[in-house]
Amino acid sequence: MLLKMPQNVRFIIDTLNENGFSAYMVGGCVRDLLLHNDPHDYDVCTSATPEDVIRLFDKTVNTGVKHGTVTVIIDKQPVEVTTFRTEGEYGDFRHPDKVVYVRDLESDLSRRDFTVNAMCYNDKEGLIDIFGGEKDLKAKVLRAVGDPDTRFKEDALRILRLFRFCSALGFKAEEKTLAAAKQNAYLLKNISAERISAELSRIARGSDPAAVLPLLDCEGLPFLRKNGDIKKIPGLPDNEKLKYFAFLNLLCEDLPGALDFLKCSNAFKKYALGLRRAFEFKCENRADIKRLLAILGEDVFDMFCYKSAISGEDTADKAATARDIINRNEPYKISQLALNGNDIAALGYGGKEINEILKRLLETVIEDPAQNRKETLIKMI
């Protein structure tokens, strides 16, 4: 079996081999190539130490020398090259307390998370599959390498990675692996909120986000409570932000609390809470759509997509009307009024009065855009 290998990866492996070291493509790139998918990136494992790698290649970056990883840059393309290793205890349930370099490949592969990610390849030796990863790929099964309880206690993030791969690949978790993931889910409280959020976002973007349902009500993810049908998420457009909102909105009764727990950005919080608020908004005419635009701006189109996918409502005409309002530059926000706060202050008003007047003028102009003339608005005041 020959797998397609990029020229820069082949150069790295050939260079290491020519200097007496073993080297292989390893992990996710091998899995993806066997599935006939294009890998996002490539990793190489080798018997060479980081010092050997740095010596043999002109351009390297010490991205993780402490754990045996050096990034080699060939033709501006980075490839992570990691020394065969075994690992000590995982005191923080995420990172090994120490790593020990080894010479044999099997010891290195045995520390990896799932069988489908524990295969390696080079052109000379072909596919090396010690733990049955290729068989599990064909069966569409995710199985931990070795004892699943040990794998998840080593690195609790692997629990979320299990469900991310299930969602992305459409695979099912092997029975013992699934049981161990659920049993150890409480360990997720040791993982940073940012890493949890990143994995949940990837689960949301997969073909089967419902794969995460076994984690509902677990101690490590206390904000997850089934609130809607997440099987509808794959019907949304390929929009990372929208799918993550839909995922959280359908799994979190307390969306603001979940956003805070996950330390989401202020921009995403504003987006998510705006879409949830707008979802319940009555939208019966052109003026209502302008009010929605005032809340969401062009994110209103995401809201229409969400409502169509989740509730089955046909929102195409409303989306077309919103686009027409924007194209015609019909005012729907205060900054589009023909006068501003300084104009109102010049009439003798101040403080909160100015903001209240602007809001009332905007409401009038939303109903009748023809009123948006400075002289007309001053007469109204």
Give yes or no for residue 91 having a pLDDT over 60: no
Percent of the chain with pLDDT over 70: 97
Hey, what are 122's tokens?
């080079």
- What pLDDT sits at residue 280? 81
DSSP per-residue string spanning 272-291: HHHHHHHHT----SHHHHHH
356 pLDDT above the threshold of 90: yes
Please give the single-letter amino acid code of residue 85: R
Q: Please work out, in degrees rounded to the nearest 5, the angle formed at the alpha carbon of residue 194 by the alpha carbons of 65 and 180.
A: 85
pLDDT tens digit sequence for 12-49: 999 999 999 999 999 999 999 999 999 989 999 999 99
Tokens of 305: 């997509």
Domains of the chain: 1-139 (3.30.460.10), 141-264 (1.10.3090.10), 271-327 (no CATH), 334-380 (no CATH)
Beta strands in the chain (DSSP E): 23-26, 43-46, 60-64, 69-74, 77-83, 85-87, 99-101, 120-122, 126-128, 141-142, 172-173
Tens of pLDDT, residue by residue over 149-175, are: 999 999 999 999 999 999 999 999 999
In DSSP notation, 72-101 reads EEETTEEEEEEE-EEE---TTSSS-S-EEE
Separation of alpha carbons 113 and 110, rounded Å: 8
Percentage of the chain surpassing pLDDT 90?
Answer: 79
In the predicted structure, residue 2 carries a pLDDT above the cut 90: no
- The mean predicted confidence, pLDDT, of the chain is 92
pLDDT tens-place string over residues 196-220: 999 999 999 999 999 999 998 888 8
User: According to the model, what pLDDT value does residue 297 have?
Assistant: 92
Give every CB contact of residue 279 below 8 A, 6+ residues apart in sequence: 303, 306, 307
